[in-house]
Amino acid sequence: MSDIQLWTFVFIGLSFGVYIYIAWRSRVKETAGFYVAGRGVPTVANGAAVAADWMSAASFISMAGLIAFLGSDGSIYLMGWTGGYVLLALLIAPYLRKWGKFTVPEFVGDRYSELVRTIAAVAAILISFTYVVGQMRGGGIVFSRFLNLEIAGGVMVAAAIIFIYAVLGGMKGITWTQVAQYSVLIVAYLIPAIAVAQQMTNLPIPQVTFGQILNELNAISVELGLNQYTEAFAARPQIDVFLVTMSLMIGTAGLPHVIIRFYTTKTVRGARYSAFWALFFIALLYTTAPAVGAFTKLNLLRDVQGVGVEDLPAWIENWAATGLVSVADGVDTVQSVSNDPGAGADLTVNNDILVLASPEIAGLPAPIVGLVAAGGMAAAMSTAAGLLLVISSSVSHDLYFRRVKKAATDRQRLLAGRIAMAFAVVIAVIGGINPPAFVAQVVAFAFGLAAASFFPIIVLGIFWKRCNATGAAAGMVAGLLFTISYMVYTLDVFGTSANPHIFDISPEAIGTIGAVVNFVVTIVVSKLTAPPPAHLSELVEELRYPAARRRPAGEEARQG
């Protein structure tokens, strides 16, 4: 066993032990504990849990890799995912916490109708499945490289661990496990970044010093046939950069597994402060990611530029065993590098390995390599657990309890939720073994689906009393069908062939257009049909204003 494998076993074994111990101590027997942690989570802890829930394998494993190859266009992930939390804190989180239910479909059902609740539950399941596939894939990559497993085996091991602690503790166990996972993932991300910054710039502040290497990175990139690293809109058209950023923003604000976290706080004020703490904790990683991408890209290009195949560094051979790094047949000297297997480059490097491989590329010691592996697993598992809970709650609470057996006891509902979680794990494993794209891209598809379905009807449901059930149902269905159709059209999924992007709009970007479709259809249909009942208007008024500032439901109508 190599030193890297030994330290990986140590860090992953210790962290997994902590996660399962927390889940065991936090195990629950009632639905309030399983779905919303008894609404007793302190603000700072909830902020850390939100950050861990949201900073998935895409953020930890894949985002810096995409930034490394996309250059400045990789800012779409930084701006989109962080900007979305501002929308979430201002437009959604406090109001849904004040509503005080268990799930996002439950709010939608109360605000509109049981039909809309059912559509929302199906949408939540679809979004969560898409998102969790990326997490399972990330876990498989970690195990594949560091524990000498096939990616399929790694995915199954990660899924088994996640299932155990998610089923035991529900939201309560997941929350406190995510606090621990955030601690692991942020330490694992910052330590190597600081070490590499010191190594390359003699100043251990990666967020500040990575600008010193950009000129050299630009020059080497051009020599190897790549675009300049800092050139804007070189990797993506300008319209696509804008639309992907917007899709990620409004998708963040509409993600069920993120919104549900704000149901766990003690008060509405706590929901707002949780969003602040989440942004702070997220910023620690997101301000570091551009530096990690730039440092790793430069070290990678330095290692391979003009180097003979026989003299390539050891990390390439180590990662080649996973199938995520490959040297073209018949190549003697590396003259070109790409992340696209179809580009015909001398060396092909998958986006998803760069963060995990960065300590090896930089020549850092084995304990740091093992720590990064544990951080990658923490990121994948923390988000996957939250997603599985959304699937579980949507099936058991919003479908089984509301549609099948309204007299179900707490025990029956918990059992239904745990069975749904088990089926979700099986399907997620299958998707994780055969994902349609890179980890961050798969996750971006989930954000697009959330943008096209939940964001419009939640915002309209809070801020426009005239919005009715017919409009919401039509808008959600139209937005989802439009977005899914375009994704299937442009991706090689379900046995279909990929087609060219229309107007340079990528499948990661189509959620923005889907959201516009949802907004337009919802507003038009609501205007053409009867207004919602007066008691719903009063509920919306109660949701938005304190009692002293509310107007009677009929007063607004009398004033035109």
Q: What digits encode the pLDDT tens for the residues 369-378?
A: 889 988 888 8
Model confidence at 31: pLDDT above 60 = no
In the prediction, which pLDDT does 380 show? 76
What is the mean predicted confidence (pLDDT) over 272-281?
A: 83
Query: What share of residues in the chain are helix, strand, coil (percent, to 5)?
Result: 75, 0, 20
Looking only at the bridges linking them, the beta strands covering 325-327 and 347-349 are: antiparallel
In the prediction, which pLDDT does 29 show? 56
pLDDT band at 560 (very low <50, low <70, confident <90, very high): very low
CB atoms within 10 A of CB 279: 18
Phi-psi region of 487 (alpha: psi -120 to 50; beta: other; left: phi over 0): alpha
Percent of the chain with pLDDT over 90: 26
Tell me if 151 is assigned to some domain. Answer: yes
- In order of 126, 141, 199, 371, 476, the CA distances from 340 in angstroms are 28, 18, 29, 28, 35
Mean residue pLDDT of the chain comes to: 83
Tell me if 216 is assigned to some domain. Answer: yes
Span 512-557, pLDDT tens digits: 999 999 999 999 999 999 999 988 888 888 887 755 455 554 444 4
Span 165-203, pLDDT tens digits: 666 655 666 777 788 888 999 999 999 999 999 999 999
In the prediction, which pLDDT does 558 show? 42
Model confidence at 348: pLDDT above 70 = yes
Span 524-534, pLDDT tens digits: 999 999 999 98
371 lies in which domain range? 3-296+364-529
CA atoms of 13 and 9, how far apart (whole Å): 6
Q: How many Cα atoms within 13 Å fall on the side-chain side of residue 242?
A: 5
The sign of the torsion formed by the CA atoms of 530, 534, 536, 542 equals positive
Tell me if 196 is assigned to some domain. Answer: yes
Identify the helix (H) or strand (E) that includes residue 91: none
In the prediction, which pLDDT does 407 show? 74
In the prediction, which pLDDT does 344 show? 83
Selected residue with higher pLDDT from 134 and 362? 362
Q: Cβ-count burial of 263 within 10 angstroms (0-12 exposed, 13-18 middle, 19+ buried)? A: buried
Q: Cβ-count burial of 165 within 10 angstroms (0-12 exposed, 13-18 middle, 19+ buried)? A: buried
Entry field: residues in the chain:
560
CA atoms of 266 and 62, how far apart (whole Å): 34
CA atoms of 112 and 147, how far apart (whole Å): 50
DSSP state of 63: I
- In order of 9, 324, 376, 377, 500, the CA distances from 142 in angstroms are 12, 12, 7, 7, 32
Tell me if 542 is assigned to some domain. Answer: no
Selected residue with higher pLDDT from 6 and 414? 6
Q: How many Cα atoms within 13 Å fall on the side-chain side of residue 53?
A: 33
Tell me if 205 is assigned to some domain. Answer: yes
Residue with tokens 């530096």: 291
The sign of the torsion formed by the CA atoms of 357, 360, 364, 367 equals positive
In the prediction, which pLDDT does 190 show? 94
DSSP state of 236: S
Query: Cβ neighbours of residue 326 under 8 Å, at least 6 residues apart?
Result: 320, 341, 347, 348
Span 456-485, pLDDT tens digits: 999 999 999 999 999 999 999 999 999 999
Tell me if 203 is assigned to some domain. Answer: yes
CA atoms of 534 and 556, how far apart (whole Å): 11
pLDDT band at 20 (very low <50, low <70, confident <90, very high): confident
Indicate the pTM of the whole model.
0.82
What is the mean predicted confidence (pLDDT) over 6-27?
A: 82
Residue with tokens 């766990």: 264
- For residues 440 and 77, the answer to whether their CB atoms sit within 8 Å is yes
In the prediction, which pLDDT does 166 show? 64
In the prediction, which pLDDT does 381 show? 74
In the prediction, which pLDDT does 1 show? 55
Selected residue with higher pLDDT from 191 and 138? 191
Tell me if 85 is assigned to some domain. Answer: yes
Tell me if 357 is assigned to some domain. Answer: no
**CATH code at position 407:** 1.20.1730.10
CA atoms of 51 and 275, how far apart (whole Å): 9
pLDDT band at 218 (very low <50, low <70, confident <90, very high): very high
What is the mean predicted confidence (pLDDT) over 258-266?
A: 73
Residue with tokens 């491989």: 357
Where is mean pLDDT largest: 202-211, 408-417, 464-473? 464-473
Number of domains in the chain: 1
Report the b/e string of 376-411 with b at 16+ CB within 10 A. Answer: bbbbbbbbbbbbbbbbbbbbbbbbbbbeeeeebeee
pLDDT band at 559 (very low <50, low <70, confident <90, very high): very low
CA atoms of 223 and 69, how far apart (whole Å): 15
Residue (of 381, 412, 384) closest to 396 by Cα position: 412
Selected residue with higher pLDDT from 505 and 99? 505
Model confidence at 19: pLDDT above 90 = no
Residue (of 383, 381, 315, 391) closest to 353 by Cα position: 315
Where is mean pLDDT largest: 100-109, 270-279, 320-329? 320-329
